[in-house]
């Protein structure tokens, strides 16, 4: 049986942890923009840490995966905002 990845392809996914300051900052930014995204808490889903590492090639968080298949690792707020504008998810 194959997993339905439709949701993953149309939504932003953010891999992070509460102890990570950059993760809290990026999550607050996405929340303030009222974007619909999936937050994967690596403290609750330890196996997801391996997924995040496979995506980014590094052991750094947050990892954001965008609907176009691109990703950012430890992005600044400006980097996230620029990507969201490029994808026309915000004005």
Tens of pLDDT, residue by residue over 28-67, are: 999 999 999 999 999 999 899 999 999 999 899 999 999 9
CATH label of the domain that carries residue 25: 3.40.30.10
The pLDDT > 90 percentage for the chain reads: 85
How far apart are the C-alpha atoms of 64 and 70, rounded to whole Å?
Answer: 8
| 12: nearest Cα among 57, 90, 42, 53 | 90
- Is residue 62 assigned to a domain? yes
Mean pLDDT of 7-31: 90
The answer to whether residue 56 is domain-embedded is yes
Q: Euclidean distance between the first and final Cα of the chain, in Å?
A: 39
The encoded tokens of residue 7 equal 């949701």
Confidence (pLDDT) at 5: 40
Q: How confident is the model at residue 9 (pLDDT cuts 50, 70, 90)?
A: low
Both tokens of residue 5? 């990845």
Q: What is the pLDDT of residue 16?
A: 97
Domain membership of residue 1 (yes or no) is no
Residue 77 lies in a domain: yes
Structurally, the chain folds into a number of domains equal to 1
Residue 76 lies in a domain: yes
Please check whether residue 5 lies inside any domain of the structure: no
Task: Give the domain extent around 61.
Answer: 10-86
């Amino acid at each position: 049986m194959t997993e339905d990845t439709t949701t993953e392809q149309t939504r932003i996914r953010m891999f992070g942890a509460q102890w990570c300051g950059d993760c809290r900052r990026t999550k607050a930014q996405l929340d303030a923009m009222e974007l619909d995204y999936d937050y994967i808490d690596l403290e609750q889903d330890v196996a997801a840490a391996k997924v995040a590492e496979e995506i980014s090639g590094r052991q750094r968080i947050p990892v954001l995966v965008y609907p176009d298949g691109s990703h950012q690792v430890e992005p600044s707020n400006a980097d996230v905002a620029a990507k969201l504008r490029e994808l026309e998810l915000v004005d």
